[in-house]
Every structure is written in C-alpha cells, then in structure tokens.
C-alpha cells in the first residue's frame, strides 16, 4: 500500500511539493486556505481535506509550506492538546531559528513530533536528485521519514538535531550569502554601464569571479579548520585597499555603492583590530567573537 502524506499550503512551492510526492506514487492529501488551488492536484489524484487539522489527522506525515510560521498557527488554531498524537509535522515555511524552536514546542505540547526544514531552491528544483533541502530535528524521526523527504530533493540531509539549525543555515547561505552576491552583481553592472559596458559584457568575468569565489571559500574553510590565518596570496590590508578604491570609484559616479561600502567597513574593522597582515579567513574568528 502506498505511503500516505499530507501537504498543507499550496502556493507556488507547496503545489510543487505535493505534485512531486504524487508523481512518486504516494497517497497525497492536500489543504489550502484558498481551496481552488487544490483543483489541479485533485485531478492528478490527490485527496483534499476540509481543514489543516483534518489533513494532519489522515496521514502520519504532514509537510507544511505556508508563507510564514504564523500562517500555520492560524491554520492549526483549532487543534486540541494531544490531537497531534502519532503525527509528524515537517514545516518547510521560511523562518528564523527561533520560529522553528517555538513551533517544535507547540507541536510537542499537542502530542506530535516535529522536524523543521528549509528550501534553498525555486520550485523548479524540487524533485531533482542533486537538490539539497536542509532539515533539523531528532535523528530517529529523520530516519523514519527520510525516504519520503528525499523525494523532494535527493541530496537532502539532516544538518543538526538542534531544530533551529536548518533555518539558521537557510537564512545564512541562500538568504544572506546568495542575495548579497546577487545584489552586488546589479550594483557593479550599473557602475560599469556608465563606461558603455553592458550586463551581457560581464558574463565571462562574472563566471571567472564565481569560480574564484568557490576556490577562495574552499581555501578559507581549510584555513579556518587549521586556525592558520597567515597571509599567503593577498593580505586583508591589500584587499581592503582595493575594496575602498572600488567604493570610491562607484561613489564618484553618484551611485551609493551600498554593498561595496558595507564590505569596505567590514575589512576596515579587521585592519583596525590588527588583522592587516592576515588572509581574509581571519574575518571568521573576528566576526564570531562579535567584531
Ligand atoms: N517560491 C520559492 O521559490 C521558495 C523558495 C524557497 C522557500 N520558499 C518558502 O516557501 C514558503 C511558501 O512560498 P510560496 O512561494 O509557495 O508562497 P506563495 O505562492 O505566496 O504561497 C503562500 C502560501 O501561504 C498561504 N497563506 C498565506 N497566508 C496564510 C494564512 N494567513 N493562513 C493560511 N494560509 C496562508 C497561501 O494560501 P492562499 O493560497 O490561500 O493565499 C499559500 O498557500 C515561504 O515561506 C517561502 O519563503 C519559497
């Protein structure tokens, strides 16, 4: 008999999660606040529940993907104490570590078990073998549901038993890291456009920079693991000097240069606190210690 799973929330992401589970042959029950979004899934074989608590009651595993955590509390407002006994909730809504910790306590108070998760891809990435969704929660619970959860992303993994860790990782890398780099592309493309260079002209340089970034991050991870911060290729001082030059050039063109200015401040703090001769990896212990 096929495994049963419920999906709560059928926005762009929740619909793709439900469709992927259906295509894999699971028995899927869905619920969405606006019921019309269930129509296509119903014609593909999904059942629909009249409420989120009903969806949770019919399957041992429920995957929720609503805009925010508070939407899930709203959807489950009528759930009594002990009503979630025997149910595991996996919440893939985007949020902070503290949201995951509070939701975990809320579910356990009602007799259920909880895994938190984060999705670092667009809906088009769901169901691919190389997609890594990140989960956090009890390892035994992960082991019980891993087969179903890996249908959503074949490279998915449990990053920690600390239920807030998955959200921290998602806020940090697809959140802060990716968006900062993405935003910097637009800031710099706007700057060079004043010299007749189009965004399309940047393709090859951006590709090289991304490869270099990959190598630099790998080298920095090794340096951090060994605790070795001696400058080898470029010192923090020389990098700070070139970043300041970039910031000043952008600002001379009456552009704010918000991101490059923030980067200059970061490296300046490292210079002022005595890290001039070290390599950029030395920023990690400085920042970790509150610098
Ligand atoms: N789309 C992406 O590329 C992507 C990537 C990674 C992570 N995520 C995360 O996945 C989550 C869902 O994103 P999405 O793209 O599917 O968003 P979406 O298309 O805007 O859908 C939002 C979902 O939340 C529901 N909702 C909103 N307010 C609600 C409320 N008060 N009560 C009950 N349900 C409510 C909506 O129901 P209605 O249909 O009734 O409005 C809908 O099911 C978000 O946390 C997002 O950050 C999305």
Alpha helices in the chain (DSSP H): 12-23, 39-43, 52-58, 69-75, 97-109, 139-152, 165-170, 178-192, 203-226, 236-252, 258-272, 283-288
pLDDT digits (tens, 9 = 90+) for 253-279: 999 999 999 999 999 999 999 999 999
Q: Higher-confidence residue: 242 or 232? A: 242
Of ligand 1's atoms, which has the minimum distance to the CA of residue 15? 16
Would you place residue 81 in the very low, low, confident or very high pLDDT band (cuts 50, 70, 90)?
confident
What's the CA gap between 288 and 64, in Å, rounded?
33
Of ligand 1's atoms, which has the minimum distance to the CA of residue 70? 31
Q: Quick check: 192 pLDDT over 50?
A: yes
Tell me if 12 CB under 6 Å of ligand 1.
yes
Would you place residue 154 in the very low, low, confident or very high pLDDT band (cuts 50, 70, 90)?
very high
Cα 10 to averaged position of ligand 1 atoms, centre (Å): 7
User: So what's the pLDDT on residue 224?
Assistant: 97
Would you place residue 80 in the very low, low, confident or very high pLDDT band (cuts 50, 70, 90)?
confident
Cα 127 to averaged position of ligand 1 atoms, centre (Å): 18
> Over pLDDT 90: what percentage of the chain?
94
User: So what's the pLDDT on residue 83?
Assistant: 79
Tell me if 65 CB under 6 Å of ligand 1.
yes
Q: Quick check: 59 pLDDT over 90?
A: yes
Q: Quick check: 1 pLDDT over 50?
A: no
pTM recorded for the entire structure: 0.90
Tell me if 74 CB under 6 Å of ligand 1.
yes
Would you place residue 196 in the very low, low, confident or very high pLDDT band (cuts 50, 70, 90)?
very high
| Stretch 119-133: mean pLDDT | 97
**In degrees, to the nearest 5, what angle opens at C-alpha 153 toward C-alphas 167 and 160?**
35
Measuring from atom 2 of ligand 1, which residue has the nearest CA? 122
Tell me if 33 CB under 6 Å of ligand 1.
yes
Q: Quick check: 233 pLDDT over 90?
A: no
| Stretch 185-196: mean pLDDT | 98
pLDDT digits (tens, 9 = 90+) for 18-39: 999 999 999 999 999 999 999 9
Tell me if 11 CB under 6 Å of ligand 1.
yes
| Stretch 182-206: mean pLDDT | 98
| Stretch 100-125: mean pLDDT | 96
Among 169, 170, 182, 240, smallest CA distance to 210 is for 182
Measuring from atom 28 of ligand 1, which residue has the nearest CA? 71
Measuring from atom 1 of ligand 1, which residue has the nearest CA? 13
Tell me if 124 CB under 6 Å of ligand 1.
no
Calculate helix-pair angle for 236-252, 258-272, nearest 10 degrees. 150
Would you place residue 79 in the very low, low, confident or very high pLDDT band (cuts 50, 70, 90)?
confident
User: So what's the pLDDT on residue 2?
Assistant: 55
Tell me if 126 CB under 6 Å of ligand 1.
no
- Convert 75-86 to b/e letters by CB count within 10 Å (16 or more is b): bbeebeeebbee
Question: Residue 140: CB partners within 8 Å, gap ≥ 6?
Answer: none
Cα 5 to averaged position of ligand 1 atoms, centre (Å): 19
| Stretch 200-206: mean pLDDT | 98
Q: How many helices (H) and strands (E) in the chain?
A: 12, 8
Site to substitute for ligand 1 among 9, 40, 78, most atoms within 8 A of C-beta: 9
Q: Quick check: 282 pLDDT over 90?
A: yes
Tell me if 75 CB under 6 Å of ligand 1.
yes
């Amino acid at each position: 008999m096929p495994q049963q799973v419920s999906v709560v929330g059928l926005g762009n992401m929740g619909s793709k999660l439900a469709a992927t589970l259906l295509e894999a042959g699971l028995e899927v029950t869905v619920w969405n606040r606006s019921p019309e979004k269930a129509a296509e899934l119903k014609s593909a074989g999904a059942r629909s529940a009249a409420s989120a608590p009903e969806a949770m009651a019919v399957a041992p595993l429920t995957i929720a993907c609503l805009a925010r955590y508070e939407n899930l509390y709203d959807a489950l407002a009528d759930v009594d104490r002990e009503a979630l006994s025997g149910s595991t909730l996996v919440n893939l809504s985007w949020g902070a570590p503290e949201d995951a910790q509070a939701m975990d306590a809320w579910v356990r108070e009602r007799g259920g078990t909880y895994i938190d998760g984060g999705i670092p891809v667009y809906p088009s990435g769901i169901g691919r073998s190389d997609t890594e969704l990140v989960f956090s929660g009890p390892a035994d619970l992960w082991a019980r549901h891993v087969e179903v959860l890996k249908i959503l992303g074949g490279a998915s993994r449990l990053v920690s038993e600390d239920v807030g860790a998955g959200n921290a990782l998602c806020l940090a890398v697809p959140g802060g890291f990716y968006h900062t780099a993405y935003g910097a592309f637009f800031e710099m493309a706007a700057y060079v456009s004043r010299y007749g260079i189009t965004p399309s002209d940047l393709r090859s340089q951006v590709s090289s920079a991304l490869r270099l970034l990959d190598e630099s991050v790998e080298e920095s991870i090794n340096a951090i693991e060994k605790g070795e911060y001696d400058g080898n290729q470029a010192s923090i001082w020389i990098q700070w000097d070139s970043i300041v030059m970039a910031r000043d050039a952008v600002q001379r063109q009456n552009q704010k240069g918000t991101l490059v200015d923030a980067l200059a401040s970061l490296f300046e703090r490292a210079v002022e606190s005595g890290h001039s001769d070290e390599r950029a990896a030395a920023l990690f212990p400085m920042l970790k210690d509150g610098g």
